[in-house]
Amino acid sequence: MRDLTAPRAGDDVASVSEALIGEVPVGEVPVDEGQATAAFVQPGQGADEEASPASAGTWRRLARQRGAVVAAGWLLLLVLAATLAPWVTLHAPAAQDLLHSFGGPSASHWLGTDDLGRDVFSRLVYGARSSLQVSFESVALALVLAIPVGLFAGYRGGQVDNIVMRFVDGGMSVPPLVLALAVVAALGPGANNASLALAIVFMPAFTRLIRGQTLAVKEETFVEASRSLGTPPVLIVARRVFPNVVSTIIVQASLTLGGALLAEAALSFVGLGAQPPSPSWGSMLQQAYSTGLFTHAWSLVVPGAAIAAGVLAFNTLGDGLAAALGVGRPSNGRRRRWGKSRLSRGLTRVDRGPVTAPPAPRSPDGDTSRDTLLSVEGLRVVLDTSAGPVPAVEDVSLRIGEGEIVALVGESGSGKSLTSMAIMRLLASPPAAVAAGQVTFAGQDLLSMDLGELRRIRGRDIGMVFQDPMSSLNPSIRVGEQIAEAVRLHERVARRTARERAVQMLVEVGIADPAARMRCYPHELSGGMRQRVMIAMALVCGPRLLIADEPTTGLDVTVQAQILELLRRLRRERMAVLFVTHDLGVVADLCDRVAVMYAGQIVEEAPIDDLFARPRHPYTEGLLRASRSAQDAIGESAAITGSVPALGRRPAGCHFHPRCQYAIDLCRTVDPPLVRESGRYERCHRAAELTLRGVA
């Protein structure tokens, strides 16, 4: 529920935590469904839950993180020991016993004694007092100052905000420890002055964080609603804005406490923190260093370890809280389901289990009309989700002959893109894995190849055009180089030759002034040009098969026609194409055959003219009527009602039955088999009896 403010607020959390922990986010790519959908939760809904960050769910999420729980336990123990110091120690921290200096651990001195024979354990416990006190004081003071300033600046905005932010920037431009030292230099040494100095150090970062959060929350509808009701600003900030900022403050406070502990130790190490005789961890370490370095090196261990463990605990707790409260980026708390050694980079895992025999070829008589280039038999792709493995592609079979253009058509979510990428084994594992099937390209089994073997086919024999060229092109490499790279990966040619080939290819996809475009970065090109660069990259090595996922979407009509013409010409040079699209209209005059996919299955496959004239599956009929050119032909608009079922929610029986107007009881229970009849296939119980409407 927190996610409604997280995307924007996250940036600021990071900018502050970068100052303390040192981590910044890259553009988040949602990996699993939960994460992707959480970003779209409507603002109003979450408002109430957010008001109480310490809800039961938060505690549960926190309790699930073992590290954070251990850290919290350790900190609690420290605080208790520090508070109850006189009762948990056997000796006064300053009691000297010069006869037993540097004594080892014993029943009376659990951690031994220091150079003056003082009990190390007592000093550690009493030291925790001043170390923790300075940490908590400084963070609390910084918050007391930063919360009102940050809320005010963020809510008010304008000139006030500007001025406050200039001071914040100024404060943050001084190296933190240097600032603390400078302030202590003016104020004089001592624990209280150290607290004050550290508060001054932490305040700018807190202010910036709270101000940023306020800015984000201010624009939310529930705040604007209060505003329009005439609620006084102070009340809006107190009741509506502040509760939404609390989670972030808690996380940041925990991380800052770690920094405070570290800084306090540094100050007292150089004698500027707690003054003798009251011990602190930093001064204990200093003492051990100046007296025991050459003779009793182990005395250095205890105070340093105490500091490190404390800082580690605060940091771990902060990370845990961030994950539990959903603040900022999902940090280490994000558990992905990748097991050890299962990870295979750049190559979809094939996990066909104990394969007995390859599935029987779909058409025993074979397709005699052309030589088969690519054959996919019984392909099954499984995705690992938080709810367990879910089939995404089920028993897909396809056959593409040399020089043949086959369209793979379906709505989004039908599994057509997954299928096209599974052929090249480009799906990331995890979450994806090929669970069954055969993929044969020019007589070679792609599913049993290793990366080295497959590399020689990728890009050279099979070219691939992806959807969304903006994200599919490398943002930091010139497009010309990206195209030329494809050539140089497969052919021993000079850099210049590769570049010339790239220019030539850009001309073929219809890019004007190609030499100049070569030097552009993707962000400098228009969407249509990026799309054509993508196509040029896939074609530059002259592949025998092009797998193109929506290659003409986003191109204007003339360019689209140009690209289709290029594909037609290349077909005459025996290039085959698997054309993945949602729009039957685009491929109508180009393709030889069409395979229609629905919910992970191929539901119908036929030569293009037959399919258009006489669809045999109700889904195909619906697609035809929804296709734009078909609409023009029949003069009516008709979309299929409902939508493709989500992964893992595919109904029993025929996956299409809930949306099918012809469904009978049999369709609801039995998954229909793929049936071959006179050169076409369909997956429908009622294919024989129904007469469906095509387009002329």
Partner 1 sequence: MIRLVLRRLLVLLPMLFVVSFGVFLLVALVPGDPAVTLAGGASATPETIANVRAQLRLDDPLLAQYWHWLAGIARLDLGRSLFSGIPVAHEIAARLPVTLSLVIAATLVAVVIGVPLGAVSGLRPGSTADASARVTSSLGLAVPNFWLAVILVSLLAVRFQVFPPTGFTPISSSFTGWVQTVTLPAVALGLAPAAGVARQLRRSLAEVLESHYVRTAWAKGAGTTRVVVRHALKNAAIPAVTVLGVQIGFMLGGAVIIEQIFSIPGLGTYMLQGITGHDLPVVQGVTLVFVVFQMAMSLLVDLSYGYLNPKVRVA
Tell the smallest beta-carbon distance from residue 146 to partner 1 (Å).
Answer: 16
Candidates 349, 352, 455, 614; binder of partner 1 (CB under 8 A) is 455
Nearest to partner 1 of 517, 650 (CB atom)? 517
For the chain, the first-to-last Cα distance in angstroms comes to: 51
| CA pair distance 286, 265, nearest whole angstrom | 10
C-alpha triplet 251, 65, 132: angle, nearest 5°: 45
| CA pair distance 508, 575, nearest whole angstrom | 15
Nearest to partner 1 of 131, 627 (CB atom)? 131
Displacement of CA 543 from its chain's centroid (Å): 33
- Only one of the segments 45-53, 283-291, 506-514, 585-593 lies at the binding site for partner 1 (rule: CB under 8 A); that segment is 283-291
Nearest to partner 1 of 435, 473 (CB atom)? 473
Site for partner 1 in 167-206 (CB under 8 A): 167, 169-171, 173-188
Given a contact cutoff of 8 angstroms between Cβ atoms, the answer to whether 65 and 333 are in contact is: yes
Site for partner 1 in 464-483 (CB under 8 A): 464, 466, 468, 471-477
Given a contact cutoff of 8 angstroms between Cβ atoms, the answer to whether 648 and 678 are in contact is: no
- Only one of the segments 21-29, 400-408, 626-634, 671-679 lies at the binding site for partner 1 (rule: CB under 8 A); that segment is 21-29
Candidates 1, 7, 11, 25; binder of partner 1 (CB under 8 A) is 25
One-letter amino acid for residue 326 of the chain: G
| CA pair distance 236, 526, nearest whole angstrom | 44
Residue 441 forms beta bridges with which residues? 374, 444
Number of other residues whose CB lies within 10 A of the CB of residue 485: 17
Torsional sign, CA 195, 196, 201, 205: positive
Label the pairing between strands 432-441 and 444-445: antiparallel
Mapped onto helix, strand or coil, the DSSP state of residue 641 is coil
Nearest to partner 1 of 28, 583 (CB atom)? 28
Residue 521 as a binder of partner 1 (CB under 8 A): the answer is yes
Site for partner 1 in 297-316 (CB under 8 A): 297, 300-301, 303-304, 307-309, 311-312, 315-316
| CA pair distance 12, 6, nearest whole angstrom | 10
| CA pair distance 548, 535, nearest whole angstrom | 8
The pair of structure tokens assigned to 19 is: 């100052």
Nearest to partner 1 of 296, 370 (CB atom)? 296
The pair of structure tokens assigned to 290 is: 């100046």
Tell the smallest beta-carbon distance from residue 366 to partner 1 (Å).
Answer: 30
Tell the smallest beta-carbon distance from residue 548 to partner 1 (Å).
Answer: 12
Nearest to partner 1 of 476, 661 (CB atom)? 476
Residue 575 as a binder of partner 1 (CB under 8 A): the answer is no
Site for partner 1 in 479-518 (CB under 8 A): 485-486, 489-490
Nearest to partner 1 of 315, 627 (CB atom)? 315
Site for partner 1 in 530-559 (CB under 8 A): 534, 537-538
Task: Say how many residues touch partner 1, by CB under 8 A.
Answer: 101
Mapped onto helix, strand or coil, the DSSP state of residue 224 is helix
Nearest to partner 1 of 224, 485 (CB atom)? 485
| CA pair distance 119, 117, nearest whole angstrom | 6
Nearest to partner 1 of 315, 581 (CB atom)? 315
- Only one of the segments 87-95, 330-338, 592-600, 650-658 lies at the binding site for partner 1 (rule: CB under 8 A); that segment is 330-338
Nearest to partner 1 of 197, 603 (CB atom)? 197
C-alpha triplet 640, 644, 645: angle, nearest 5°: 140
Given a contact cutoff of 8 angstroms between Cβ atoms, the answer to whether 24 and 9 are in contact is: no
Displacement of CA 316 from its chain's centroid (Å): 21
- Only one of the segments 439-447, 463-471, 570-578, 649-657 lies at the binding site for partner 1 (rule: CB under 8 A); that segment is 463-471
E strand or H helix at 234, and its extent? helix 233-235
Tell the smallest beta-carbon distance from residue 494 to partner 1 (Å).
Answer: 18
Q: Give residues with Cβ within 8 angstroms of 392, minimum separation 6.
A: 381, 382, 383, 415, 418, 432, 600, 647
Candidates 164, 249, 257, 424; binder of partner 1 (CB under 8 A) is 424
Tell the smallest beta-carbon distance from residue 376 to partner 1 (Å).
Answer: 17
> What is the Rg, in whole angstroms, of the alpha carbon atoms belonging to the chain?
34
- Only one of the segments 72-80, 101-109, 237-245, 284-292 lies at the binding site for partner 1 (rule: CB under 8 A); that segment is 284-292
Residue 675 forms beta bridges with which residues? 682
Nearest to partner 1 of 538, 555 (CB atom)? 538
Alpha helices by DSSP H, 173-220:
176-187, 191-218
Nearest to partner 1 of 182, 663 (CB atom)? 182
Spell out, one character per residue from 241 to 280, where the chain touches partner 1: x when CB under 8 A holds, - when not: -----------------x---x--xx--xxxx--------
Nearest to partner 1 of 317, 626 (CB atom)? 317
Site for partner 1 in 26-55 (CB under 8 A): 26-29, 31
Given a contact cutoff of 8 angstroms between Cβ atoms, the answer to whether 549 and 369 are in contact is: no
Site for partner 1 in 337-376 (CB under 8 A): 338-341, 343, 345-347
Tell the smallest beta-carbon distance from residue 530 to partner 1 (Å).
Answer: 11
Site for partner 1 in 593-652 (CB under 8 A): none
Cα–Cα nearest to 46, from 34, 38, 56, 54? 38
One-letter amino acid for residue 673 of the chain: P
- Only one of the segments 75-83, 121-129, 520-528, 558-566 lies at the binding site for partner 1 (rule: CB under 8 A); that segment is 520-528
Nearest to partner 1 of 501, 680 (CB atom)? 501
Given a contact cutoff of 8 angstroms between Cβ atoms, the answer to whether 102 and 299 are in contact is: yes
Residue 466 burial by CB count (10 A; 0-12/13-18/19+): exposed, middle or buried? buried
Spell out, one character per residue from 403 to 422, where the chain touches partner 1: x when CB under 8 A holds, - when not: ------------------x-
Nearest to partner 1 of 183, 663 (CB atom)? 183
- Only one of the segments 82-90, 137-145, 161-169, 629-637 lies at the binding site for partner 1 (rule: CB under 8 A); that segment is 161-169
- Only one of the segments 48-56, 400-408, 447-455, 591-599 lies at the binding site for partner 1 (rule: CB under 8 A); that segment is 447-455
Residue 133 as a binder of partner 1 (CB under 8 A): the answer is no
Tell the smallest beta-carbon distance from residue 313 to partner 1 (Å).
Answer: 8
Nearest to partner 1 of 111, 311 (CB atom)? 311
Given a contact cutoff of 8 angstroms between Cβ atoms, the answer to whether 464 and 537 are in contact is: no
Number of other residues whose CB lies within 10 A of the CB of residue 163: 11
Residue 66 burial by CB count (10 A; 0-12/13-18/19+): exposed, middle or buried? exposed
Tell the smallest beta-carbon distance from residue 434 to partner 1 (Å).
Answer: 16
Residue 393 forms beta bridges with which residues? 381
Number of other residues whose CB lies within 10 A of the CB of residue 565: 12
